[in-house]
Amino acid sequence: MSLIATIAAATGVAAGPWLRGVIYAHSVSYGQPLRSRCTRCGRPATRTRWHALTAVAPLRGRCPTCATHIGPRAGATELLTATVLAILALRAPSPWVLAAWTWAALFGVALALIDSAVLRLPTALTITALTGTLILLAGAAVAAGQPDPLLRSLAAAAGLGLLYLLVVLAPGGGMGPGDAQLAPLIGACLGWLSVAAVVTATLGAVLIAATYVLVMLATRRLRRRDDVPYGVFMLLGAFAMLACGIAAGR
């Protein structure tokens, strides 16, 4: 593993307590207040100021008072994030782009775990992720003296966001507003590489989601009208596209 990938993996490990805190705070049903206390003993567990963007879970992942788990288990989130960031480090064309992808990926991990738990993608997280990513990509464009990738990223973000918005508004579309808010983030990150990367990731998300639904229906663990966390598949499609690019030597 290269030095940059090692540093990226270490960043993922270091970000673990913060991510677990954010996930714990936001893993509530739509319209419910953010969670800040232990569900068992009621003692404070995380912070909810600034939409819980600064929430941090205990290092051991357990309530200091009653030892109840606070958010995802300690270690699992760190391992997942470290793996994702290491792979992004191998694919990023520049340090500035890696910084943008890292910012997006950290929120992406949180969003994926929240969506899989409560079927929602909090607006505070999607907007913060997109804003930071665009700022860092603008820095990448200035540093390289090449505005074309940034313009392509902006166009891809707008185009993919509009596509998902149309699906959300269509009768029986089966998606929620959070999916339309997540789409520009994916479009911005992959649009820096190419339009083909955005298309491939979008098709990959559809394929992964369809496979999941068919398997779950076949095993009767899902009913036809049940909702699925499509945001997870959007993120998996984007990550799979990048991982396959590395495997192919691109």
Is residue 250's pLDDT more than 90? no
- State residue 48's pLDDT score: 87
Q: Which of 47, 82, 117 is the last residue of a domain?
A: 82
Residues 98, 5: contact at Cβ < 8 Å?
Answer: no
Q: Is the domain of 193 the same as that of 160?
A: yes
Span 155-180, pLDDT tens digits: 999 999 999 999 999 987 779 999 99
- State residue 245's pLDDT score: 75
Residue 87: inside a domain: no
- State residue 237's pLDDT score: 97
- State residue 249's pLDDT score: 45
Q: Is the domain of 144 the same as that of 236?
A: yes
The domain containing residue 143 runs over which residues?
Answer: 92-250
Residue 161: inside a domain: yes
Residues 188, 134: contact at Cβ < 8 Å?
Answer: yes
Q: How far apart (Å, rounded) are the C-alpha atoms in residues 196 and 55?
A: 37
The residue behind tokens 């499509």 is: 230
Is residue 98's pLDDT more than 80? yes
Q: Is the domain of 66 the same as that of 137?
A: no
Span 174-226, pLDDT tens digits: 799 999 999 999 999 999 999 999 999 999 999 999 999 999 999 989 988 88
Task: Give the pLDDT band (50/70/90) at residue 1.
Answer: low
Q: Is the domain of 39 the same as that of 137?
A: no
pLDDT-above-90 percentage for the chain: 88
- What's 42's DSSP letter? -
Please compute the mean of the pLDDT values over residues 112-131 and round it to a whole number.
Answer: 97
Residues in the chain: 250
Partners of residue 44 on adjacent β-strands = 37
Phi, psi of 44 (to 5 degrees): -55, 135
Q: Which of 20, 52, 82 is the last residue of a domain?
A: 82
Q: Is the domain of 208 the same as that of 240?
A: yes
Residues 91, 4: contact at Cβ < 8 Å?
Answer: no
Q: Is the domain of 17 the same as that of 64?
A: yes
Q: Is the domain of 143 the same as that of 74?
A: no
Q: Is-above-0.85 flag for pTM?
A: yes
Span 43-87, pLDDT tens digits: 999 988 889 999 999 999 999 899 999 999 999 999 999 999 999
Q: Is the domain of 53 the same as that of 101?
A: no
Residue 244: inside a domain: yes
- State residue 247's pLDDT score: 46
Please compute the mean of the pLDDT values over residues 127-147 and round it to a whole number.
Answer: 97
- State residue 236's pLDDT score: 98
Q: Count of domains in the chain? A: 2
